[in-house]
Structure 1
């Protein structure tokens, strides 16, 4: 692995709208900033800009809550229209709860893409619209692949792309960026069969490379800074046919179900 990497938030990214060409917009921003992409660069891009470009914003006025949504909404003191969107994005509700000190409860759900997250990653903040909710793109890997292909062609350099989103972690406070979509970037690095510094064989070590990259990108991003894209440079990695789902643990390995 590399001994040094750099992380740079790409400046000047405008507000993204439905139908925008992300490849052209981000490529222009890189050119204006004097940051042409090089072979081996990895671009980390926030899910929100993909969702906005792909029209993944749902006006709450267009949503009719189901009986199940109304039930959860009453129990959790949540807007039933938002609950309905959460249910539509989910394959199951893992747990729903409201603590005495909470004004609004939380739904921990398995998203249709397989991720376990609060409210199935449905968001109402930081995308510039009122009375609406944002959902994840239908196929984050395909979105990353289009961006990777277009920018690699534009700059004549094979790069990687990671789509990031902010998740909490079980039994740990706060949130970190994680990878929910990939193009060319390995999801994990299998160290099994290698040895440690003392020559002992590694049996279970498998760094979550994509999540490490996503989390690192969060160090130079601010929620109010309008810096949804980060350039990571200097990492030693090999392109792979990878998907965001490759980082999900198999259900038969889940010890908490």
Structure 2
């Protein structure tokens, strides 16, 4: 991973913007949408800057001051890049290529724009508003996560690709409990290259609560798992399983 994606809260905060023309105006509109206070490079309170014309001297001058800089079309001078954005407030999807191709990021954004329902933001807000009720219904964190995963799964009561998902939230909260099953799936890896993962293996990695793996399974594969999944080094399958989905990753020789 070449960069750490983050979402910055810029409302009311100073952000330096330099340069003129269409590129500068596009960046200005983006910053204004985020609520930033746009200032010139003399502002001593700013910690972020966008050099819209990619000017090397300006970028270096700002970086010497400890300011994080984005220099348009000059990736070597960028401390951060600006992604293509799918905006379904409060849902934001950022697509970045590390400055490799803005065109590719734009094409992916357009595909996602067509895929995601306009009301997916309403679902996110409804889930936020329902947090106390969700915690009361499923007090155990693991049980709660599995219930939410089941509800948001394809065809689930609150499937995010269903335009009416937000309206189905109340029914989901009052619906039957998710069965607390223990399940072990064995995934035989054909190589140590994550690009060779099957669609099934990639899906299971994204869903599993625990990842049992042999020592020869590389980090590049393990990094495809959920960030909060537990990784357990083993030499043989586990004898007992905890509730939820467990994976055993085995690299074929």
Specify the TM-score bucket, using the shorter chain as the normaliser: under 0.3
TM-score (norm 1): 0.21
The structure having more radius of gyration, on CA atoms, is 2
Name the structure where helix makes up a greater proportion of residues. Answer: 2
TM-score (norm 2): 0.21
